[in-house]
Structure 1
């Protein structure tokens, strides 16, 4: 079960242990989120939060505890609702938290609603605006990213494509650490090595020394009946061009962009391996 990563939990601990929340506030929010049972007693606010969030995350990853997963998401929602009354004028940590959540597969969204309240016996009802937040998964539940990653890794390893496999594992690790530019760069390198391997095995390609070979490999593979332009070839060409943008330079990519690349390049790599067994 996919849940919140270390970078996201670390950021959340920093936010929750700030001046906005007292230890009593945090205990209440942890109880409301049903994650208070996962940690240990501690008067230090950081450890109070960290021990429970890490304990809940471990329960998810080690035992598939869906209650712990829901609790983590609920705690994020409660913290944001308490601290961010106006998302159009948020604290400095709001955008980094949204980016971190996107990298983990969750979009923090909100909407403004109006509540009817009464402020006294001599006045009528008053409309007061408040903001409600939601954490929405960005991925389909039918094809979770982690399952696709495992299948691709196994296929690359079984064929002996160790260079592509190494690049791919580095891309996954960089993405999990929220280093999006590094993930993009490693994905491009993985795709290029895979293309060269397939073109060499299926289209008599001979890679020149000190050249990447991704573009020529695509040209040769598109000339085969297995990957005609109208049946995946043009899609591969477009993806290859996209893989050269927003690469390894900091600040060029973000969580949503990098996550899309991870999904689509993973899917394309698996398609290529299926087409060229």
Structure 2
């Protein structure tokens, strides 16, 4: 069964954003009626109606008629929230929405479209254009292994299966910090998660627990562990002098100094995504090694 496009965290944040924008029952009811969902919705308050709308989107998997055609109600809700005026984008709910969308594999970009009113441009006699916010996938949606929520779920399950509780705790704190927009805290927990994961894997494969961290990583590339890290994939140092992925990622998670002009959110998103995909690869390999014993 395919994972829904948007996590419940993202959907809840979208509902919070819409609660600020749709401040009368008439406006909200018109929106819901246009989506063909009015018969599903009850409640005496705007917030209750929006929560009912989210419940219908998640549980009943209905579609909504929008200007873009028929789309899942979840997407209609999120796309409507993304279109709110600029003054709503200083609200904490907007920060949660953008963080949730990043984790779902989407970003918000500006696009220019013809003015729905049909007004003409005063500059070139063509149709007037307006700027709107739209969703864009960060990565192709038809390539296997790139859904980061699926990656997180599999990583969580494998951490639990192999009793890597400390690493699991650091990952949970990293994703929680990411969702509330605390980029520095998320980055710090990701570094610690990556380090503890490699250390625990080394111990599970026979390394002495008292060895320092760098010795544990060396052990993962030695015959004693299989080796677990593969030189021919350039995961570890080899006699050809090529860069090593494991240490390269370690360095990328531990940059020094400031980086003017780089978005903290973009950087944190990248770190979270690449760490999840890497952790999934190594945990799958650990699982296969232990299962074969």
Q: Deviations over 1:12-69 (max 9, x none)?
A: 3443333665322222222334454543142x3232223312x13531xxx6x26388
CA distance in 2, matches of 1:76, 1:31: 17
| 1:3–1:183 distance in 2 versus 1, CA, 3 Å | farther
Select which of 30, 40, 46 maps to 1:28. Answer: 30
Alignment check: 8 A CA contact 1:103 1:255 kept: no
Matches within 5 A, 1:129-140: 129-139=129-139, 140=141
Task: Give the gaps of 5 or more residues in structure 2.
Answer: 65-70, 237-243, 257-261
CA distance in 1, matches of 2:172, 2:108: 28
Alignment check: 8 A CA contact 2:170 2:190 kept: yes
CA distance in 2, matches of 1:232, 1:17: 48
Task: Give the gaps of 5 or more residues in structure 1.
Answer: 85-89, 247-251
Q: Give the structure-2-normalised TM-score.
A: 0.66
Q: Deviations over 1:176-219 (max 9, x none)?
A: 565554443333322222211233355745535xxxx5444334
Q: Give the structure-1-normalised TM-score.
A: 0.69
Alignment check: 8 A CA contact 1:29 1:78 kept: no
Matched residue count:
252
Asked if 1:167 corresponds to 2:170, the answer is yes
Alignment check: 8 A CA contact 1:171 1:184 kept: yes
CA distance in 2, matches of 1:269, 1:118: 53
Task: Give the match for residue 216 of structure 2.
Answer: 217
Task: Give the match for residue 52 of structure 2.
Answer: 51
| 1:214–1:91 distance in 2 versus 1, CA, 3 Å | farther
Select which of 73, 90, 93 maps to 2:89. Answer: 93
Instruction: Tell me the CA shift for residue 157 of structure 1.
Output: 3.2
Task: Give the match for residue 78 of structure 2.
Answer: 76
Instruction: Tell me the CA shift for residue 74 of structure 1.
Output: 1.6
Root-mean-square deviation over aligned CA pairs: 3.8
Matches within 5 A, 1:142-161: 142-143=144-145, 144-161=147-164
Give 3-state SS (helix, strand or coil) of 2:20's partner. Answer: coil
